[in-house]
Structure 1
Amino acid sequence: MDSTSTKLGASAVQSIDRAADILRAVSKHSATGAKLADVVGETGLTRATAHRLLQALVATRLLEQDTVASRYFLGVWLIHLSEQASERFGLERLTLQSRARLSERTGDTIFLTTRIGASMICSARTEGSFPVKVLTLEVGSTRPLGVGAGGLAIMAFLSEAEQKLVLKACADQYSRFNLDRDRVAALCAEARKHGYSIDRNIVLPGVTGVGIPLRGPDGEIVASLSIAAISERMTEDRIEEVGALLKEEAETLAALMKSTDHRTGTLG
């Protein structure tokens, strides 16, 4: 590869990284929409660069713009891509009954998150019956791996080499979620010890989440299931109980995925 190709490659990677940062920033304001100032503040980009990339993402339908309120929202096309990503192994469909059982047994909100490189995207959400609902993630929103119970569940059970790559790639993003590389590494170690991840009031004060990784037919980690509830409900005993329920469903899903042709969604 010549020097010109190398430079072009580096430029393309930088643009993709910046676009991903913008999508994450906008996803944090999914309910009210993100202003240009919000994106600039959370990404560190200049106003001109942020505005240019925002317009490019709007043009590709990954974002939508309310021109009257001057706010940006996740686009319908991004949600479509999320659905397609989850269908890599038929995850949204295959986990439907597991999510329903978990929400019925716990009363809390269940999240399915799918891994995309060093990031994760919320692919599905099942709300429980408990009056106080914790809706920490919108379907289609993204976060770096290691953030929240779902992202931590995926990252904690990757190989040591993969973890190092993710920590390096996401290091600059963790501060937005009250984390840093050392804290994420420590939480990964705790998750491996328990067999499930725990987020105690980190990303969102007053909310505790518990997560478990999901493995594809070849054993690779492709997603996670997590449960979020107000911290008052998540005593240590209940965390253990929830962790056990998640492990049970993860084992059920692992067996189901092995017997399912993920390309067609049919039992083999």
Structure 2
Amino acid sequence: MKKFTGSVLAAIVINTVAFQPALAQEEGTALVPLPSLDDFTRGEDGWAFGLGLGVEYETAYEGSDEFGFEAQPAGAIQWRRGDNIFYFAGEALGWRGLRSDTWLFEATVAFDEGREEGDSDKGRLNGLGNTEEGTEFVLQARRAFDNDWRYWLDGRVITGDNGNLGVFGAGRRFGETRDGTGSELGIVAVFNDSKRANRDFGITASQSAASGLNATNLSGGFRSIGINYTYRNYINKNWQIFGEVFYEHFSSDIRRSPIARSNYEAEVGIGFIYVF
């Protein structure tokens, strides 16, 4: 999700905000009032459904200097019981639970698509082959400074077939509603082990011979620092608009890989969801 056009996204956001507050106040209380965590339950127990489509402008693969548009499905099937939500969203199946008003825990099983040689239209991945697909397990904990969730800290561990990631961040929520609409700004530091670093940016001797790129073996450690802005609002009773801007700056260790044609990854996305 990279660079759609900041001015276009800003114009849509500003116009929507102009008539949103009165509608938002009618919506139910979200499990956690953070726009980055979709909640279609309207504060009620039972089943909830959201279905939509987003368009992203993003780098072709991690470290790429090629950009392009991509359509992505959006929404989820959710089931809520009190302070717990179970959900299925695309390639992820998970649980999210609120504890003591200021602690949020989440566990997810997700599918990692990997990378294909064809992801580069300029042939910059030729000879490297496809990276393996795999299953990932995500464990997350968020701690708010108060039950309004104005400021929060976040920790995530992502482990799976292709290595491990650790993500640590902090964020701030904007807006007064508690229905999960408004906007949110977060900053994260990302760490990886050597297996994950080499899966994404390493080049073996055989890959070097086939691609002409220098062999590269990376150690684990600091991977990147990123900043993310999320926006979500209701246009009317059933339609939601959402947007996201993301920027990730790679560490010097990652940037020394020939795969990293750019020292950053970025994306901009916008979309709509119909909440049943």
Task: Tell me, yes or no, whether TM beats 0.5.
Answer: no
Structure richer in strand, relative to its length: 2
TM-score normalised per structure 1: 0.26
Larger radius of gyration: 2
TM-score normalised per structure 2: 0.25
